[in-house]
């Protein structure tokens, strides 16, 4: 089986088998369909949501198995229905496709990053009206996904809403485009301005002071978790969106799962005590997804190999994705 963009993308490594009897999708794995090279080109026009796996984590500073998340994510679909009971939204009335995984190289990380840029641009070309969900992988992929979008539409100004415990503004000259650098990468390459970045969730003792100074020099907006909690997560998100949407054409949302408290996210090695609760993150993601200018998102830094037995973090990552789609449908 070829991916539709083959050889640019690998097909997912497995596909769910849809039971004969099921005429309507009721579970997510019955709803999201792999898009193969053989698929009718006409069908691509109707696509609302595009899922792409970005299985790269050898660019992580600390050893990471986040490259395993795209597969774990797809396996988790079976445990979710398409119906959001809280909001009364049924995802299955929309069309969602899984275009497979960006191909990676074992020892050439630069080539991996180039592949992501290329894939991101190609997806924008083929699905200009769809919402794109990139499933990481580590945070280095965010810079590449956004660069791909920029390459596809150089005239569109892109802004970023980031849920994160860290600035991710490390110096690229230290260790190259690692998972600690995506925001700085975008600033320094001129793709996104610092003042068009809004980081929600910073807290504790997990950023050095010089990164904060860099952020301030470049006008990066950040709201610490303590402040966001006092204002309300939803209200904080709405305020950021209001300010950002004045300045940009397109908003990209990046969810670094390490924004969560470690009690909620054993499968995110970089998560810490004092982070967001599940309810807070889901509220924030739902709020951001409702905004018209949000066109793409990613979920990064979730390492299924470190998750505990019953896979709370993999399930939570999948829930974040579905909650984002729900928000999009509520626009």
- Cβ-based nearer residue to a copy of itself, 251 or 276: 276
Residue 173 contacts a copy of itself per CB under 8 A:
no
**Near a copy of itself by CB under 8 A: residue from 61, 152, 239, 248:** 61
Q: CA-CA distances (angstroms) from residue 69 to 26, 145, 193?
A: 23, 17, 30
DSSP state of 272: B
Could you tell me which stretch among 74-82, 151-159, 234-242, 249-257 binds a copy of itself (CB under 8 A)?
74-82
Residue 58 contacts a copy of itself per CB under 8 A:
yes
Residue 65 contacts a copy of itself per CB under 8 A:
yes
Place of tokens 């053989």: 38
**Near a copy of itself by CB under 8 A: residue from 8, 232, 266, 293:** 266
CB of 67 to a copy of itself, least distance (A): 5
Contact pattern from residue 106 through residue 125 relative to a copy of itself, giving x for each residue in contact according to CB under 8 A and a dash for the rest: xxxxx---------------
Could you tell me which stretch among 54-62, 147-155, 236-244, 293-301 binds a copy of itself (CB under 8 A)?
54-62
CB-side exposure of 202: number of CA atoms within 13 Å? 20
- Cβ-based nearer residue to a copy of itself, 64 or 124: 64
Could you tell me which stretch among 152-160, 184-192, 219-227, 243-251 binds a copy of itself (CB under 8 A)?
219-227
H or E, element range at 251: strand 250-256
Answer positive or negative: Cα dihedral of 218, 178, 182, 268: negative
| Residues near 15 by beta carbon (within 8 Å), at least 6 away in sequence | 1, 34
H or E, element range at 323: helix 312-329
Residue 261 contacts a copy of itself per CB under 8 A:
yes
Residue 234 contacts a copy of itself per CB under 8 A:
no
Q: CA-CA distances (angstroms) from residue 130 to 49, 51, 274?
A: 5, 10, 35
**Quick check: 267 and 311 in contact, CB under 8 A?**
yes
Interface of this chain with a copy of itself, residues 132 to 161, rule: CB under 8 A: 140
Q: What is the 3-state secondary structure (H, E, C) of 82-127?
A: CEECCCCEEHHHCCEEEEEECCCCCCCHHHHHHHHHHHHHHHHHHC
| Residues near 84 by beta carbon (within 8 Å), at least 6 away in sequence | 90, 91, 322, 323, 326
**Near a copy of itself by CB under 8 A: residue from 51, 53, 60, 119:** 60
**Near a copy of itself by CB under 8 A: residue from 322, 324, 327, 328:** 322
**Near a copy of itself by CB under 8 A: residue from 35, 53, 64, 158:** 64
**Quick check: 287 and 240 in contact, CB under 8 A?**
no
**Near a copy of itself by CB under 8 A: residue from 8, 44, 48, 90:** 90
Residue 226 contacts a copy of itself per CB under 8 A:
yes
Interface of this chain with a copy of itself, residues 286 to 305, rule: CB under 8 A: 303, 305
Residue 232 contacts a copy of itself per CB under 8 A:
no
């Amino acid at each position: 089986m070829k991916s539709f963009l083959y050889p640019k993308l690998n097909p997912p490594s497995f596909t769910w088998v849809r039971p004969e009897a099921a005429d309507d999708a009721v579970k997510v794995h019955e709803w999201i369909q792999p898009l193969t090279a053989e698929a009718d080109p006409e069908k691509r026009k109707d696509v609302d949501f595009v899922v792409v796996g970005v299985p790269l984590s050898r660019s992580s500073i600390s050893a990471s198995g986040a490259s395993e998340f795209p597969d774990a994510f797809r396996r988790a679909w079976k445990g979710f229905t398409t119906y959001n009971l809280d909001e009364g939204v049924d995802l299955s009335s929309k069309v969602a496709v899984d275009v497979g995984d960006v191909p990676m190289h074992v020892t050439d990380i630069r080539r991996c990053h180039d592949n992501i840029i290329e894939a991101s641009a190609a997806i924008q070309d083929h699905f200009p009206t769809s919402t794109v969900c990139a499933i990481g992988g580590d945070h280095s992929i965010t810079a590449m996904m956004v660069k791909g979008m920029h390459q596809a539409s150089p005239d569109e100004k892109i802004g970023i809403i980031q849920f994160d415990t860290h600035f991710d503004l490390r110096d690229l000259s230290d260790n190259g485009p690692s998972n600690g650098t995506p925001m700085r990468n975008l600033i320094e390459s001129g793709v996104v301005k610092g003042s068009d970045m809004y980081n929600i969730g910073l807290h504790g003792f997990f950023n050095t002071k010089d990164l904060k100074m860099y952020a301030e020099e470049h006008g990066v907006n950040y709201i610490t978790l303590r402040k966001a909690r006092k204002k309300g997560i939803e209200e904080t998100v709405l305020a950021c969106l209001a300010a950002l949407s004045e300045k940009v054409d397109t908003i990209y949302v990046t969810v670094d799962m390490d924004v969560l408290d470690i009690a909620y996210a054993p499968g995110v090695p970089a998560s810490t005590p004092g982070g967001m609760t599940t309810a807070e993150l889901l509220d924030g993601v739902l709020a951001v997804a409702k905004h018209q200018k949000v066109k793409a998102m990613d979920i990064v830094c979730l390492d299924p190999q470190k998750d505990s037995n019953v896979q709370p973090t993999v399930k939570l990552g999948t829930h974040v994705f579905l909650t984002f789609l729900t928000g999009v449908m509520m626009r």
